[in-house]
Amino acid sequence: MPFIELETSLPAERLPADLPAKLCSEAATILGKPVERVNVTVRSGLQMVVGGSAAPCAQLNVASIGVVGSAEQNKGHSSRFFDFLTRQLALSPDRILIRFYPLEPWQIGKNGTVMTFL
């Protein structure tokens, strides 16, 4: 059950209207998870500074069970997410950061229990 959060200083009108749906589909493909399990949040127009500069930028947070726990996994994921984000946001790679968070099934609640028991 991946949780994908994109934060950007770009105003909403500069983002593709279907960005959340595209990001959901792309994340499912990259992480090898069913699209029905991917959760996406997009926040735009934020006041952000990356590397000391307030130039347009973005941060992507990727949290998931079992697929973001190693450097090798994340290296591959990073490359594919960067390809997607640079195309969709028209930002250079140096203006994008990605953070990966491995999750355990007991850390995600759903339907009155946790994923461990589903």
> Which pLDDT score is estimated for 35?
98
Q: How many domains is the chain partitioned into structurally?
A: 1
Q: What is the pLDDT of residue 18?
A: 97
CB-based contact 100:62 (threshold 8 Å)? yes
| Residue 7: predicted pLDDT | 98
Q: Could you tell me the residue range of the domain that residue 51 belongs to? A: 3-117
CATH number at residue 72: 3.30.429.10
pLDDT tens track for 35-82: 999 999 999 999 999 999 999 999 999 999 999 999 999 999 999 999
Residue 113 has phi, psi (to 5 degrees) of -145, -160
Q: How far apart are CA 76 and CA 29, in angstroms?
A: 12
Q: What is the mean pLDDT of the chain?
A: 97
